[in-house]
Structure 1
Amino acid sequence: MTTPVAPAAPAPSYAADAVRQLKGLSRAELAMFARSRMNLFNVLVVPAMIICGMLATVTQFSINEETGRSLGQMMVSTSLAVVLILVVYSPLTAVYVVRREEAVLKRLRTGEVTDPIILIGCAIPYLAVAVAQFAVIAVALSIISTGAPGLPHLAVLALLLSMPICIGLAAFSSVACRTSEAAQGVAMLGLLVLLLTSGAAVPLELFPDPAAAVLRFFPLTPAVDLANSAWTGEGGSVGSVLVKCATLLAWSAITAAATRRVFRWDPRE
C-alpha cells in the first residue's frame, strides 16, 4: 500500500513577493516621511505656494489671453507639472542620497529585494501624495472655473506615465550629490529646467514655433499637453495622444536605462 504524498505547497509568485516587498518598504519610508516636518512642509505647502504665485503671474500678464485657454485650464496643467516636480522629483532626489549615505540602500540590496523594487518602494509615499494633491487641485479648479474635463482619462494617463520619469530623473540626479544639501541644489536646478521646458511656467504658445516643436519632446511636456487636452479637447485625437504617450514611455525607458548604468548604491567616500 503506497503512502499518499502531500501536495507540494505552491511556490510564491514573483508578483506576490514584489507586492509584499513594496508594502514593507513604502510603510517604512512613510513613517520616516511623516516624522520630518521639513518634508511635510516641502511636499504639502511649497507646491501650493508656487501654484498661487504662478496664478498671480498669469493673471497679471494676461498670459491666458495669448494662449487661448482659460485661467483654470492653464492652472490645471501647470499644477500637474508643479506637483510632479516638487512632490516626486525633488524630495526623491534627497531621499535617494540620504538612504545611500546611511547605507540603507546597500543593506537592502544584500537581501532578496530587487533594485527596481527598492527605488519604487522609497517613492510610493511621494507618489501617493502627488496623486492626492493633483486630484484635489483638479476637482477644485473644475468646480470653480473649468468645469468637468471632457477627456478625464488623458489627465490620468499624464499623471501615471510621468511618474516613472520623475523617479528615474531623481535617481539619476542623486548620482551628482554627496549630501542632502547638495541634493537640494541639484533638485532646484532640475526644477527650473523641467518647469521652463515643459510648458508649465511658460506656455509653449509663447515660444517661437521651432523651439516649441523641440520642447514638445522634452520629459514632462507631453504630460502637460495631455492635461491640457483633458480639459480643452485640443490635441485629443487618437494619433496625437499616442505620440505623447509614446514620448513619455520613451523617456521612462531612457531614465531607467541611465539609472541602471550610473546609480550609486554604496555610500560615497
Structure 2
Amino acid sequence: MILALSRTELTLLLRNKTAASLALAMPLLIGALLMVNGPSGWTFIIVLQLVMMLGFTVYMTVTTSLVSRRQDLYLKRLRTGEASDQVVVAGLLVPTVVLGLVQAVVLMGMSKIAGAPLPERPLLLALAVVGGTAMCCAVGVATSGITSTPELAQITTAPFFFALFGGAIWALVTDTVDYRVLLVPGGQVAELIKAAWGGPTDNVGMALAALVAWVAIGSGLAIRYFRWEPRS
C-alpha cells in the first residue's frame, strides 16, 4: 500500500514543474555553484550542500506537496480508503525522502570528483543526513497544517528554512564550544558533518540528542496541526 501511494505521489510531484524544480534541480544547482564559487574548505561546502538539500528537497517539498494534495481533496479521498492515516502519510512522504537521500549521494559524488576527501567518520555523516531528513519531514508535515495554499508555502516555510540555514552557518563559523548552536535547526546537522570530516567529537552526543528532540518536536506539532481537509 505504501509503495503504491509512493508511486502515485512521485508521479504527481514530477508533473508539478515548480515542485519538481525545487526538489530536483535547485539543490543540485546550488551544490554545483558552491563547488565552483564557494569558500575554501570542503567541510563548509558540504555542510551547505546538504543543508540546502534538506531545506529545498525535503522540507519545502513536503510542505508544498501536502498542501496541494489537501487543496484538491486528494488527502480526503485517500483517508476514505482501507489504508490507515499513518500509512497514507508515510506513502506520501517516501518519494521526497528517497529524492533527498539520492541527492545527498549525488552531491557527495560531485564533491568527491571535484577533490573533496572522504569522511573519516561516515556513520556520523549518515546520522546527520537521516536525522536531518526526519526532522525536516516532521516539521514539513506540521507546516502544511498552517498553510492554506501552495503559494502561501513560500511564506510559511521561510522561518524554519532560514533557521535551518542560519543554524548551519552559525555552527560553521563558531570555533569555540557554544551549546546554543545545537538548539537551532541545522546546528546539530552541521556539527555532525564537521565531526564526520575529522572535526572534534566533543559535541556529537549533544548534537544527536538535540536532533532527536527536534524530530520529536516536529512530530508532535505535525500530530497537532496536520489537516486532511482544505483550510477555510
Note the alpha carbon deviations across 1:117-165, whole angstroms, 9 max, x for none: 2222112111111111111111222343332111111111111112221
Which 4+ residue blocks in structure 1 deviate beyond 4 angstroms? 52-58, 207-210
Query: 2:231 maps to which residue?
Result: 268
RMSD: 2.3
In 2, the alpha carbon distance for the partners of 1:265 and 1:35 equals 22
Greater displacement, 126-135 / 46-55: 46-55
| Alpha-carbon distance between aligned partners in 2 of 1:114 and 1:223, rounded to the nearest angstrom | 32
Counterparts of 2:28 and 2:126, CA distance in 1: 20
Instruction: Output the CA distance in 1 between the equivalents of 2:53 and 2:15.
Output: 21
| TM-score in terms of structure 1 length | 0.78
Q: How far does the alpha carbon of each residue in 1:9-62 deviate from its partner, in whole angstroms, 9 at most, with x for none? A: xxxxxxxxxxxx211110110111222233222222212333355557743xxx
> 8 Å contact 1:90–1:188 — kept in the other structure?
no
Over the matched positions of the two proteins, sequence identity in percent amounts to 26
Name the CA shift for 1:103/1:219 in 2 (closer, same or farther; >3 Å).
same
The secondary structure found in structure 1 opposite 2:151 is helix
Deviation at 1:216, TM superposition (A): 1.5
Which runs of no fewer than 5 residues in structure 2 stay unpaired?
A: none
Counterpart position of 2:46: 76
The answer as to 2:214 corresponding to 1:247 is no
The TM-score with structure 2 as length reference comes to: 0.89
Structure whose CA Rg is larger: 1
Whether the aligned pair in 1 keeps the contact of 2:181 and 2:188 (CA below 8 Å) is no
Aligned to 1:179: 149
1:236 equivalenced with 2:184 (yes/no): no
Aligned equivalent of 1:38: 18
Q: Which residue of 1 aligns with 2:166?
A: 196
Deviates more, 1:186-195 or 1:93-102: 186-195
Distance between the aligned counterparts of 2:181 and 2:204, measured in 1? 16
Question: Contact 2:31–2:107 at 8 Å: present in 1 too?
Answer: no
- Assess if the C-alpha contact under 8 Å between 1:103 and 1:266 holds in 2: yes
Structure 1 39/173 Cα, relative in aligned 2: closer, same or farther at 3 Å? same
Q: Structure 1 residues 82, 247: CA separation in 2 closer, same or farther (over 3 Å shift)?
A: same
Q: CA deviation at 1:86?
A: 0.4
Q: Which shifted more, 148-157 or 186-195?
A: 186-195
Q: Any gaps of 5 or more consecutive residues in structure 1?
A: 1-20, 65-70
Distance 1:41 1:96 in 2: 17
Distance 2:128 2:175 in 1: 25
Contact 2:70 2:76 in 1 (8 A): yes
Which runs of structure 2 are paired with 1:1-269 in the superposition (5 Å)? Answer: 21-52=1-32, 54=34, 58-59=38-39, 64=40, 71-197=41-167, 199=168, 202-204=169-171, 206=173, 212-231=178-197, 233-236=198-201, 240-269=203-232
Question: How many residues are matched?
Answer: 232
SS in 2 for 1:164: helix
SS at match of 1:145: coil
Contact 2:53 2:103 in 1 (8 A): yes
Instruction: Give a deviation string over 1:80-123, Cα, whole Å, max 9, x none.
Output: 11101100101111111111112222222233323332222112
